[in-house]
């Protein structure tokens, strides 16, 4: 028994450490605060009034008392919708509902009390939240759960949401590439380089620290509570990168059971043909999964979990490129180096110097050029001078020509149109059963 007790004690200390650490971490980025002043109907402040805020989803409650100036502040509030309740002796109880707290929000809610009995209640339903941030000078936008799930994201990647914010310029129009590469540097915010943006999930760092240009965890759209994008003047706690701060908050369980099963489909049969492609490129994109959350102990303990899979089979978008002609792949550059008269073998032909010759290679004396004075062999490299590496490179070009949809066998620019980069990706991500206590949170979001 003594050995068992000693084994369990370190585990209890470990759990306690995780709870404390999670609270400290989350307080930096993914919780908000509500503050304000309690006044009477004449505008005089009400000291020692009791103020309580309640989360509508899980009945989380926090209580404080106003100071001598009637001011109150309640911090470390998880993202959600809250009701503020204020009461004091000699006044009716006041309720202000529908106050939405976002990540790192500093919401100001002033409450007015009317003279009367405490048993009487004055309720203000659906009061408009603060429209101008009078507490912080940050410039930020919040994209809530409804917008995240209902906006048309053809790559099903939350990084696409950055393009909704003023000051964002796309550096890559192929948004599906964001999903297959996990890139985060395809947007420039306020003129900053793409890799200068910082991305966090539930307060945790979510960038590959070597490049700062790819995600660690591509959280599924159905598991997101909100995305907050701070573009300037945010506080020093976000000082790791010089660009914007992207804070993602995942969903949590509540007092009601909620779940979903989904599949999103993209198929080339539903697409238009690109301008430079004779046919529609192959595309099969299936994104499917499920989510489920609810209470374990009502008002105390909650869970949320889910899984999703992304299966992509496609060709790259048609691209124009410049490749050698078939003659040049056989070491014959006479046509490309023809002169202004357009005729091969005349005196204005270009020069292709033989690196093994010490003789001059000029228009007046071509002894040191490939072909020498033989007009029929001018600017043609002999087959015995082609190295193994050179022949291998030529074969790569021949393969590319064979896969092209359009090839013009002429020494001009952009003589090939091709969608030859086959791209197949299978990704799955799991939002592990995350557990929320009334006053603490422990979450895990592995991805693979």
Instruction: Report pLDDT digits (tens) over 365-395.
Output: 999 999 998 999 999 999 999 999 999 999 9
- 95 and 211 housed in the same domain: no
Q: Residue 436, SS3?
A: strand
Task: Kindly state whether residue 376 falls inside one of the protein's structural domains.
Answer: no
On whether the CB atoms of residues 253 and 305 are closer than 8 A, the answer is no
- 151 and 295 housed in the same domain: yes
- 47 and 184 housed in the same domain: no
Rg (CA), the chain: 33
Tokens of 415: 């003589």
Which residues lie below 8 Å from residue 142, measured CB to CB, with a gap of 6+? 102, 103, 226, 227, 228, 229
Please, is 137 exposed, middle or buried when counting C-beta atoms within 10 Å of its C-beta (0-12, 13-18, 19+)? exposed
Tokens of 256: 């009601």
Task: Kindly state whether residue 404 falls inside one of the protein's structural domains.
Answer: no
Q: How far is CA 15 from CA 2, 9, 69, 238, in A?
A: 20, 10, 40, 27
Please, is 210 exposed, middle or buried when counting C-beta atoms within 10 Å of its C-beta (0-12, 13-18, 19+)? exposed
Q: What is this structure's pTM?
A: 0.65
The angle at the Cα of 204, spanning 201 to 210, to the nearest 5 degrees, equals 100
Task: Kindly state whether residue 89 falls inside one of the protein's structural domains.
Answer: yes
Chosen domain end from 70, 96, 124: 124
Measured CA to CA, the distance from residue 370 to residue 316 in angstroms comes to 40
- 110 and 145 housed in the same domain: no
What length is written for the chain? Answer: 448
**C-alpha dihedral (191, 196, 200, 206), degrees to nearest 10:** 140
**DSSP annotation string for 5-45:** HHHHHHHHHHHHHHHHHHHHHHHHHTEEEEEEEEEETTS-B
User: What pLDDT, on a 0 to 100 scale, did the predictor assign at position 29?
Assistant: 66
- 120 and 186 housed in the same domain: no
Measured CA to CA, the distance from residue 94 to residue 97 in angstroms comes to 10
- 99 and 146 housed in the same domain: no
Side-chain-side CA neighbours of residue 334 (13 Å): 20
Task: Kindly state whether residue 131 falls inside one of the protein's structural domains.
Answer: no
User: What pLDDT, on a 0 to 100 scale, did the predictor assign at position 402?
Assistant: 87
- 267 and 189 housed in the same domain: yes
**DSSP annotation string for 70-99:** SEEEEEEEESEEEEEEEE-TTB-EEEEEEE
Chosen domain end from 75, 94, 124: 124
On whether the CB atoms of residues 289 and 260 are closer than 8 A, the answer is no
Measured CA to CA, the distance from residue 54 to residue 265 in angstroms comes to 40
Task: Kindly state whether residue 242 falls inside one of the protein's structural domains.
Answer: yes
Is the dihedral angle over the CA atoms 185, 187, 188, 189 positive or is it negative? Answer: negative
Report the candidate in 190, 184, 136 with the shortest Cα–Cα distance to residue 160: 184
- 94 and 158 housed in the same domain: no
On whether the CB atoms of residues 71 and 48 are closer than 8 A, the answer is no
On whether the CB atoms of residues 310 and 286 are closer than 8 A, the answer is yes
Q: How many domains does the chain have?
A: 2
Tokens of 116: 């009367």
Report the candidate in 80, 101, 94, 98 with the shortest Cα–Cα distance to residue 35: 101
Report the candidate in 82, 87, 98, 100 with the shortest Cα–Cα distance to residue 38: 87
Task: Kindly state whether residue 12 falls inside one of the protein's structural domains.
Answer: yes
Residue 106, beta-bridge partner list:
33
Task: Kindly state whether residue 176 falls inside one of the protein's structural domains.
Answer: yes
- 61 and 145 housed in the same domain: no
User: What pLDDT, on a 0 to 100 scale, did the predictor assign at position 424?
Assistant: 53
User: What pLDDT, on a 0 to 100 scale, did the predictor assign at position 10?
Assistant: 57
Say which DSSP state 280 is in: P
Other CB atoms within 10 A of residue 44 CB:
9
User: What pLDDT, on a 0 to 100 scale, did the predictor assign at position 125?
Assistant: 62
The CATH number that applies at residue 110 is 2.60.40.1120
Residue 247, beta-bridge partner list:
200, 228
- 116 and 158 housed in the same domain: no
The CATH number that applies at residue 174 is 2.170.130.10
User: What pLDDT, on a 0 to 100 scale, did the predictor assign at position 448?
Assistant: 38
- 120 and 143 housed in the same domain: no
Please identify every stretch of the chain with a pLDDT value under 50, giving residue numbers as ranges: 1-7, 18-28, 433, 438-448
Tokens of 216: 């660690």
- 119 and 144 housed in the same domain: no
Chosen domain end from 80, 99, 124: 124
Domain span at 299: 139-318+426-442
Secondary structure element (H or E) that encloses residue 100, with its range: strand 93-101
Task: Kindly state whether residue 301 falls inside one of the protein's structural domains.
Answer: yes
């Amino acid at each position: 028994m003594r050995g068992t007790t000693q084994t369990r004690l370190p585990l209890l200390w470990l759990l306690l450490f995780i709870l404390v650490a999670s609270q400290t971490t989350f307080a930096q980025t993914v919780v908000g605060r509500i503050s304000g002043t309690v006044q009477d109907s004449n505008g005089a402040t009400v000291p020692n009034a009791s103020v309580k805020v309640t989360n509508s989803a899980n009945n989380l409650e926090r209580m404080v008392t106003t100071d001598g100036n009637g001011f109150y502040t309640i911090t470390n509030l998880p993202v959600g919708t809250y009701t503020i309740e204020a009461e004091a002796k000699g006044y009716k109880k006041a309720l202000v509902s529908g106050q939405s707290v976002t990540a790192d929000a500093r919401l100001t809610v002033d409450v007015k009390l009317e003279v009367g009995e405490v048993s009487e209640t004055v309720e203000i339903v659906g009061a408009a939240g603060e429209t101008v941030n009078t507490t912080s000078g940050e410039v930020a936008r919040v994209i809530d759960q409804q917008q995240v799930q209902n906006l048309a994201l053809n790559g099903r990647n939350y990084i696409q949401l950055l393009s909704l914010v003023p000051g964002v310029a796309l550096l890559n129009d192929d948004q599906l590439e964001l999903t297959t590469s996990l890139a985060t540097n395809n947007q420039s915010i306020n003129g900053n380089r793409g890799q200068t943006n910082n991305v966090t999930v539930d307060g945790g760092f979510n960038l590959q620290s070597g490049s700062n240009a790819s995600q660690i965890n591509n959280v599924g759209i159905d598991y997101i509570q909100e995305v907050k994008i701070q573009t300037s003047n945010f506080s020093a706690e976000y000082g790791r990168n010089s660009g914007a701060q992207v804070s993602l908050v995942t969903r949590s369980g509540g007092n009601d059971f909620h779940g979903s099963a989904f599949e999103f489909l993209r198929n080339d049969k539903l697409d238009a043909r690109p301008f430079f492609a004779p046919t529609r490129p192959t595309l099969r994109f299936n994104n499917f999964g499920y989510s489920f959350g609810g209470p374990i102990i009502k008002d105390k303990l909650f869970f949320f979990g889910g899984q999703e899979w992304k299966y992509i089979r496609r060709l790259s978008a048609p691209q124009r490129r410049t490749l050698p002609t078939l003659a040049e792949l056989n070491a014959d550059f006479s046509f490309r180096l023809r002169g202004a008269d357009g005729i091969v073998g005349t005196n204005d032909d270009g020069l292709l110097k033989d690196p093994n010759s010490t003789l001059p290679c000029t228009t007046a004396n071509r002894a040191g050029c490939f072909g020498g004075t033989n007009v029929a062999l001018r600017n043609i490299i002999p087959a015995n001078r082609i190295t193994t590496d050179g022949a291998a490179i030529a074969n790569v070009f021949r393969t590319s020509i064979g896969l092209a949809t359009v090839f013009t066998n002429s020494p001009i620019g952009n003589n090939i149109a091709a969608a030859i980069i086959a791209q197949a990706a299978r990704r799955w991500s799991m939002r592990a059963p995350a557990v929320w206590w009334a006053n603490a949170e422990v979450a895990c979001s592995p991805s693979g």
